[in-house]
Amino acid sequence: MFPSEVTDFFKTQKTPFYYYDLDVLNATLSEIKKHGISKGFRVHFALKANNQPKILKMIKKAGMGADCVSGGEIQRAIDTGFTPDEIAFAGVGKSDEEMELGLQHDIFCFNCESPQELEVLNELAGKSEKKARIALRLNPNVEANTHKYITTGLSENKFGINASDLDKVLEKLPELENLELIGIHFHIGSQIEKFTPFEELCRKANALNDHIEDKGFKLSVINVGGGFGINYAHPNDNSVPDFERFFGLFEKGIKLKDHQQLHFELGRSVVGQCGSLITKVLFTKYGQTKNFAIVDAGMTELIRPALYQAAHRIDVLTSSKARKEYDVVGPICESSDTFRKDISIPEVERGDLIAIRSAGAYGEVMRSAYNLREANPTVYSDEVK
Ligand code: LLP
């Protein structure tokens, strides 16, 4: 992953910075094409995971659509070459301005999450003399067995229309004449590592599909969302997730009717493994009970460890000394600004470079300017000289 010419190039760059290995991204996209797109599935990329224009252009070129959750993301998708008919707009709280932007571009579909949202979208569509295509996001009450902050498909979560409201919504829909129901949408959570929650999702989705079609609606889109997890512990051996198994599960599990197409919205599994956060050791501190490697990246560059207790693999790029145990920590004045605790890595000293792996998804996009920290330029593998 980091041959010496790459590490040498890193030494010339201002740290901390995000590095993307485009070979890994290309290998991932090939598998998505082979096991998903070429089977007739429509695979949208969730821009919330990564919105770097260079990456989006490669994803678009591979034949994926765009799954956006804000006006900013719709605009970014359009600016990077996605056509409106490739853009879906999801989110539990869309503002009027954001819905208007989607209407103005006549995007492919709005994934709607509440009865009130349907009424407001209907009104706005009427005002702009447009008909909005919609999919109902249904909450299937499936336990995704992932971190509680990224579980989304349980009744207690804020997402989607609950089963108990569905019939009322369906009854009301014909009155909302500026909306056209084209599908149903689910998303049960993120970083789902087992396949059983997806199997349960298939069963629930099939039942809901039948239920709605029996009422006389024609659904052309069955969107099962994203959520496919990546291997944070062993990114080198698992740089491309097992898309054959993932898409195969849904191919078998979802009972599509003749007029229906299966849609996905993948984020993490597409870009997670191609990105690393490269950081430099500022100081080492050897205490009575702990050793600290204090690096120049912090929770401002990668918040996942602080927010979700995520354990990203850490590779030391410039030392092969005997191993020592460290807490690898950032410079921010909060104890949550810790990347890993008690990990054994080659002994480091001031100036050593470290790669925090599997940071391509929900890394750079969640960066903040806390402490007025500035962002350094991103580096791509094809720029390494
Ligand atoms: N579709 C919907 C409606 C979503 O809410 C999400 C992610 C996705 C698709 C893409 O899911 P993925 O394939 O990436 O799992 N910041 C958190 C993850 C938040 C995910 C939110 N929803 C993290 O760093 O783990």
Give the chain's domains with CATH numbers.
4-16+273-383 (2.40.37.10), 22-270 (3.20.20.10)
Determine if ligand 1 sits within 6 Å of the CB of residue 144. no
Whether 363 is in the pocket of ligand 1, judged by its Cβ within 6 Å, is no
Is the pLDDT assigned to residue 312 strictly greater than 80? yes
Residue 3: asked if its preceding bond is cis (omega within 30°), the reply is: no
Ligand 1 atom with least separation from CA of 304: 24
Any atom of ligand 1 within 6 Å of the Cβ of 46: yes
pLDDT over threshold 90, residue 33: yes
Question: Which residue's C-alpha comes closest to atom 16 of ligand 1?
Answer: 362
* Mean pLDDT over the full length of the chain: 96
Question: In a mutational test of the pocket of ligand 1, which residue from 114, 157, 190 has the highest number of ligand atoms less than 8 Å from its CB?
Answer: 190
Q: From the CB of 367, is ligand 1 less than 6 Å away?
A: no
What is the predicted pLDDT for the residue at 287?
85
pLDDT given for residue 145 in this prediction: 75
What percent of the chain is predicted at pLDDT more than 70? 98
Residue 304 near ligand 1, beta carbon < 6 Å: yes
d(CA 147, CA 102): 31
112, two tokens: 């709607």
Asked if the model's pLDDT at residue 153 lies above 70, the reply is no
Q: Is the CB of 13 under 6 A from ligand 1?
A: no
Q: What pLDDT shows up at residue 155?
A: 67
Q: Is 268 in the pocket of ligand 1 (CB under 6 A)?
A: yes
**What average pLDDT does the segment 352-380 reach?**
97
Largest CA distance in the chain: 71
Is the per-residue pLDDT at 146 higher than 80?
no
pLDDT tens per residue across span 49-101: 999 999 999 999 999 999 999 999 999 999 999 999 999 999 999 999 999 99
What integer pLDDT is reported at residue 142 of this predicted model? 87
Residue with the smallest CA separation from ligand 1 atom 23 is 362
* Distance (Å) of CA 267 to CA 10, 65, 91, 146, 176: 27, 12, 15, 16, 32
- Lowest average pLDDT, out of 92-106, 158-172, 322-336, 344-358, goes to 158-172
Question: Cα of 368 to ligand 1 centre, how many Å?
Answer: 18
With tokens 């993120």, the residue in question is: 190
pLDDT in the model for residue 163? 82
Q: What is the pLDDT of residue 7?
A: 97
pLDDT in tens, 4-23: 999 999 999 999 999 999 99
Mutate-to-test residue for ligand 1 from 192, 265, 304, highest number of ligand atoms within 8 A of CB = 265
How far is it, in rounded angstroms, from Cα 144 to Cα 191? 9
Q: Is 375 in the pocket of ligand 1 (CB under 6 A)?
A: no
Q: Is the beta carbon of 308 within 6 A of some atom in ligand 1? A: yes
3-state SS string over the chain? CCCHHHHHHHCCCCCCEEEECHHHHHHHHHHHHHHCHHHCCEEEEECCCCCCHHHHHHHHHCCCEEEECCHHHHHHHHHCCCCHHHEEECCCCCCHHHHHHHHHHCCCEEEECCHHHHHHHHHHHHHCCCCEEEEEEECCCCCCCCCHHHECCCCCCCCCECHHHHHHHHHHHHHCCCEEEEEEECCCECCECCCHHHHHHHHHHHHHHHHHHHCCCCCCEEECCCCECCCCCCCCCCCCCCHHHHHHHHHHHCCCCCCCEEEEEECHHHHHHHEEEEEEEEEEEECCCCEEEEECCCCCCCCHHHHHCCCCCEEECCCCCCEEEEEEECCCCCCCCEEEEEEEEECCCCCCEEEECCCCCCCHHHCCCHHHCCCCCCEEHHHCC
Query: What atom in ligand 1 is closest to the CA of residue 185?
Result: 3
| pLDDT tens per residue across span 269-293 | 999 999 999 999 999 999 889 999 9
Radius of gyration of the chain from Cα atoms? 22
Q: Report d(CA 69, CA 112) in Å as an integer.
A: 11
Whether pLDDT at 377 is above 90: yes
Residue 323: predicted pLDDT = 97
pLDDT at position 310: 97
CA angle 66, 278, 44 (to 5 degrees): 10
Q: Is the pLDDT of residue 156 over 90?
A: no
Pocket test for ligand 1, best of 187, 302, 303 (most atoms within 8 A of CB): 187
Cα separation, 385 vs 376, in Å, equals 18
* Res. 144: pLDDT tops 90: no
Per-residue pLDDT at 1 = 77
Q: Name the pLDDT band for 177 (thresholds 50, 70, 90).
A: very high
Query: What pLDDT does 113 receive?
Result: 93
- Residue 304 alpha carbon to ligand 1 centre in Å: 13
Per-residue pLDDT, 140:
87
**From the CB of 191, is ligand 1 less than 6 Å away?**
yes
Separation of alpha carbons 110 and 131, rounded Å: 11
From the CB of 136, is ligand 1 less than 6 Å away?
no
| pLDDT at res. 284 | 98
pTM of the model as a whole: 0.97
Q: What is the Å distance from ligand 1's center to 228 Cα?
A: 9
CA of 170 from ligand 1 middle (Å) equals: 27
The Å distance, Cα 293 to ligand 1 centre, comes to 31
150, 308 Cβ separation under 8 angstroms: yes
Name the β-bridge partners of 132: 179
| Tally of CB atoms within 10 A around 365 | 16
